[in-house]
Amino acid sequence: MRRLPDASPSGRAITVDLEGEAIPAVEGEPVACSLIAAGESVFARSIKYHRPRGAFCFAAACSHCLMRVDGQPNVYTCRTPARAGMRLERQNAFPSAKVDLFETIDWFFPRGLDHHEMFAGVPVAEQVMAKVARQLAGLGLLPDHQAPIRPHSQILQADIAVVGGGAAGLAAARGLTERRASFFLFEREERIGGRLRRGAPLPDDPAVADEASFPAHHVMTRAHAIGLYDDEHGRFLAIVKMEPEGPRLLRVYADRFLLAPGGHPALHPFENNDLPGTYAGRAASLLLREHGVAPEAAALVGWGEELHALGRLLQAHGTQVRAVVDLRGPLPAGALPVASVGSEPKAHGLRKVTAFSFQREGGQRVKVDCDAVLVSTPTSPSFELARQGGAHVRFDAQRGLFVVEADADGRTAAPHLFVAGDITGGGTAREAAAAGARAAEAICGGRS
Amino acid sequence: MSKALICSCEDVTVTDIRHALSRGYCDVESVKRYTGFGTGMCQGKSCQAAVAALIAREGPLQPPGILPFTPRPPLYPTELSLFASVPVNPAEPPVGGVPQELGTFPPALRPTAPLPQKAKVVIIGGGVMGLALAYNLSLRGETDVVVLERGYLCAGASGRNGGGVRMQWGTPSNIELAKRSIDLMKQFARDLGINIWLRQGGYLFMAKTEAVARRLERNVALHNKHGVPTRIITADAAREIVPGLTLKGVLAASFNPEDGVIFPWAFLWGYAQHCLKKGMKVETFTNVTGFEISGGQVRKVRTDRGDIACDTVVLAAGAWSPEIARLAEVELPNEPHRHEILSTEPLKPFVGPLVSVLDSGLYFSQSMRGEIVGGMGDPKEPAGLNMGSTLRFVARFSEALLEQLPQVGHVKVLRQWAGCYDVTPDNNPVLGRTPGLDNLLQMSGFVGHGFMMAPAVAERMAQWMITGEHDELFHRFNLRRFTSGHLEREDMIIG
């Protein structure tokens, strides 16, 4: 990964402290982005086998980028803005994450370690194992400091609460604004737009709405939902809002809820899919579009329109795209010439990706050198809040995803709970926007 | 070393998932528990769909039998200090809660093989009580046993508890049962070939009122008499055991170094695997729908998969026991009460014992995996089979925990859930024969501590069932006591 020469820096040049070493960073960008741009690939060691890990999803949906930050354990560096002098430490390694003695566990147990049955009932060995396991378990040490007293949790009330400021949520917000409905929209990123800003663009993507076109203070960014709860006053969203002085917990009571949180980047299972240098496709497009960081040479693997769009995006910005392996096929129009249908992907490298191989359909195994393997599969719907609220979730075996069941207007099995966009199983941004607009109309009573 | 990870938070590989399927753990909830996938920092966000796809491809289940595991709030790791900022109205009872657990499991999960048409013993409830009993019956030569479970293994309280095991009780019966249980737990891995990770870090009880402090003192004398080395300790000694403990408002503390914590789920898997090897039946996703009764005897147990004729029926359905008993027109005095619990991010070991404030019921310990696991009962909780999660609980718990252990304010909660205590009027179990229905045996009413009592209770129950020898346990705790009025109350209830 490198910074693109033509990218204009989005913030001040600063340094952060990585275990005593000063690393150049850009103020305000995710510190994980600064680290990989500076060539740091190993962020931590994994919990059991002590495998090297680097940032993967850039969406707080995995655990690869967790570090100790300013004395706090298990911090998502993919979501923590870089600040001058911030202290970063790698976790779960001895003596260091680069040379970790416990890496031997990974080599000793090539077929895995069965903690249920290993040494079970073997005198002495089981006691020793229990002691060792206790010391090896856990990720990170206690925080250095006590937490401050947090500001009082705040109560908000509106007719409608919308979760997610991507294509679906924004189209809904536009519809709600036009109908003069009272609503709040919560977007967990710093800027609204979702995949329209962070994904690989598709030709028919709608434009990103202007935040100023919505009622003032009713679209909140850096605010993520953690639960859809009930209490004596009714149903409410618990939202963590990142304010300049720290996080605050909001309770948002509403008559109707529209959930458009999109999906999580999925970890597709293949050999060494956790090797540093492996990134989710959406992470790669985010790094390129928002922060001007991209691989020198990349291999892409996955399926769906975004896979091929990502290939085009990277190539247009100077990345050498060495392979685009479509695990499902057939190849769509607009696929890069290097693209092929294939199977059995595998990442190669000792502590970071140096190569990628796959089985070409009807042909031989192909291996290409690269510094990044980018996995682009349809995002895995974030159905959790909807399921908490009583919506039905089913497994779509064809797409390989859990999806929230809804009618064409986004109505779910739970009263007053609507969904739109990727949460119902994907589609393009244009389709998500159409679903959001329809749901807004239905919520306001325009459709029966 | 080359590996294909499916859940990278917990280092679960594709091979691990296949291993679970080969052991018969095929539904998503069971695969989650057996492999640990989806229990790490991301709570299944990046892995669950891939696991489901693998199950759909290689397992026996197809959608609609493939459902996501119940999502547990919070959606993203959230600091205890933030939860503590939510005001709670202690005068109001908690309501509702999300997500509502499935009341019934979809028929697609039901096994397709036929149920046996008869069995000597039918055990209703595949929790730790029922399975431990089945295991103990087999040790005594009885293997014509069918265990019926309404969900997956671990779906009830056996899969939802904090894993504490202690000898610090208020009555001789419970002290003796707990002592025996812990002895049996020590040899569990040898007997059943699966690790249960018993760690004897002790239980540290704290009292904030004079009355409770006196109860602790009284109990220490009782414990010592029964060979349990509990002692009253000073504040300094308590802080030596748990560095950073504030002991705010605490008047007295007691400590027994031999109490501990275990990993509960492995008990069920160990017992169940043993039963299957012995040719016994453990039928999951099977609902009891009624009984055929004549001449003061249960003749058949009716289920949604057919009837089973039997000689003896054991009701070990925990908080569901009153509901099942009613099908036989038996009224149990038990009431289900929701108890909520949470688990944090895993940290390197820093808390040795399970710590509890006896007055409020606050308890917390550090699991083998390093998570802080804890709960606190709500005095306003109404009776009912409710397993929803509330923000109110996390707020109350966080505030109470941070009062005693302020250094964990930045520690993040990963998930919260709830289970039901099976509460009786005297906090003691219901055991033995049912008056008027001689071959219906009761084995319920353990008020949240059934897990730790199960190995010992099941051992005595199997012995009593097989030999018919007198055992005072089954008279002392017989259903009759609630009408005849001889109640001996247990006061050491937490959570």
Query: In tens digits, what is the pLDDT along chain A, a chain of 448 residues?
Result: 999 988 888 899 999 999 999 999 999 999 999 999 999 999 999 999 999 999 999 999 999 999 999 999 999 999 999 999 999 999 998 888 888 888 888 888 888 888 898 888 888 888 888 888 888 888 899 999 999 999 999 999 999 999 999 999 999 999 999 999 999 999 999 999 999 999 999 999 999 988 889 988 899 999 999 999 999 999 999 999 999 889 999 999 999 999 999 999 999 999 999 999 999 999 999 999 999 999 999 999 999 999 999 999 999 999 999 999 999 999 999 999 999 999 999 999 999 999 999 999 988 999 999 999 999 999 999 999 999 999 999 999 999 999 999 999 999 999 999 999 999 997 899 999 999 999 999 999 864 4
Q: Please, which pLDDT band fits residue B99 given cuts at 50, 70 and 90?
A: confident
Q: Are A84 and A66 in contact (CB under 8 A)?
A: no
Same domain assignment for residues A255 and A296:
no
Predicted ipTM? 0.96
> Would A52 be classed as within a structural domain?
yes
> Would A369 be classed as within a structural domain?
yes
Class of domain B5-69: mainly alpha
Q: Is B154 a residue whose pLDDT tops 80?
A: yes
> Which residues in chain A are contacts of B26 at CB distance < 8 A?
none
> Would A171 be classed as within a structural domain?
yes
Domain that holds residue A8: 2-112
- pLDDT tens for B275-300 read 999 999 999 999 999 999 999 999 99
Same domain assignment for residues A302 and A385:
no
Q: Please, which pLDDT band fits residue B102 given cuts at 50, 70 and 90?
A: low
Pairing state between β A44-45 and A52-53:
antiparallel
Judge if the upstream peptide bond of residue A345 is cis by omega within 30 degrees of 0.
no
Q: Vertex B447, ends B446 and B448: CA angle to 5°? A: 95
Same domain assignment for residues A297 and A252:
no
As given in the structure block, the two tokens for residue B167 are 């000898």
Q: Please, which pLDDT band fits residue B113 given cuts at 50, 70 and 90?
A: very high
B342 to chain A, any CB pair closer than 8 A? The answer is no
Q: Give the mean model confidence (pLDDT) for residues B132-158.
A: 97
pLDDT at A8: 82
How many Cβ atoms sit within 10 Å of the Cβ of residue B423? Answer: 19
Domain end call among A112, A141, A165: A112
CB contact under 8 A, A61 and B42: yes
Q: To the nearest whole angstrom, how far is the Cα of B399 from the nearest Cα of chain A?
A: 11
Architecture per CATH, domain B107-160+265-334+426-484, reads as: 3-Layer(bba) Sandwich (3.50)
How many Cβ atoms sit within 10 Å of the Cβ of residue A437? Answer: 20
**The total number of structural domains that make up chain A:** 3
CB contact under 8 A, A267 and B388: no
| Closest A-chain CA to B351 | A142
- pLDDT tens for B218-248 read 999 999 999 999 999 999 999 999 999 999 9
Q: Read out DSSP for A118-129?
A: TTTT-TTHHHHH
Q: Mutation target for B interface from A50, A56, A327, A395: give the one with most B CBs within 10 A.
A: A395
> Would A130 be classed as within a structural domain?
no
Give the DSSP H/E element, type plus range, for residue B460: helix B450-467
> Which residues in chain B are contacts of A126 at CB distance < 8 A?
189, 195
> Which residues in chain A are contacts of B50 at CB distance < 8 A?
266-269, 400
Same domain assignment for residues A179 and A324:
no
| Closest A-chain CA to B344 | A138
pLDDT at A448: 41
Distances (CA, A) of B452 to A237, A380, B153, B157: 37, 39, 17, 12
- Look over chain B and give the mean of its residue pLDDT values, rounded to a whole number: 95
Same domain assignment for residues A260 and A173:
yes
Return the percent helix, strand and coil in chain B, to nearest 5.
Answer: 30, 25, 45
> Would A145 be classed as within a structural domain?
no
Minimal Cβ distance to B412: which of A47, A74, A142:
A74
pLDDT at A447: 46
Residues 28 to 57 of A: which have CB under 8 A from any B CB? 46-49, 51, 53, 56-57
How many Cβ atoms sit within 10 Å of the Cβ of residue B113? Answer: 8
Minimal Cβ distance to B369: which of A56, A137, A229:
A137
CB contact under 8 A, A346 and B2: yes
Domain end call among A86, A112, A138: A112
Burial (CB count <10 Å: 0-12, 13-18, 19+), residue A20: exposed
Pick from B485, B471, B481, B480: nearest CA to B173: B471
Domain spans, chain B = 5-69, 107-160+265-334+426-484
Q: Give the mean model confidence (pLDDT) for residues B428-446.
A: 97
Same domain assignment for residues A237 and A282:
no
> Would A142 be classed as within a structural domain?
no
- pLDDT tens for B334-381 read 999 999 999 999 999 999 999 999 999 999 999 999 999 999 999 999
Same domain assignment for residues A248 and A334:
no
Same domain assignment for residues A385 and A254:
yes
Helices (H), A137-253: 167-178, 195-198
**Any idea what the CATH number is for the domain that residue A391 is in?**
3.50.50.60
B22 to chain A, any CB pair closer than 8 A? The answer is no
> Would A269 be classed as within a structural domain?
no
pLDDT at A130: 84
Burial (CB count <10 Å: 0-12, 13-18, 19+), residue A215: middle
Q: Are A271 and A346 in contact (CB under 8 A)?
A: yes
How many Cβ atoms sit within 10 Å of the Cβ of residue A7? Answer: 15
CB contact under 8 A, B47 and A106: no
| Closest A-chain CA to B97 | A230
Same domain assignment for residues A353 and A296:
yes
**Any idea what the CATH number is for the domain that residue A45 is in?**
3.10.20.440
How far apart CA B157 and CA B149 sit, in angstroms, is: 12
B309 to chain A, any CB pair closer than 8 A? The answer is no
Buried residues in A322-352 as b, exposed as e (16+ CB within 10 A): bbbbbbeeeeeeebbebbbbbeebbbbbebb
Helices (H), B252-390: 265-277, 321-327
Pairing state between β A21-26 and A393-396:
unpaired
How many contacts does A have with B, using Cβ atoms within 8 A?
296
> Would A64 be classed as within a structural domain?
yes
Same domain assignment for residues A257 and A387:
yes
B378 to chain A, any CB pair closer than 8 A? The answer is no
Q: Give the mean model confidence (pLDDT) for residues B154-170.
A: 95
CB contact under 8 A, A47 and B95: no
Q: Please, which pLDDT band fits residue B124 given cuts at 50, 70 and 90?
A: very high
pLDDT at B190: 95
Same domain assignment for residues A91 and A169:
no
| Closest A-chain CA to B16 | A112
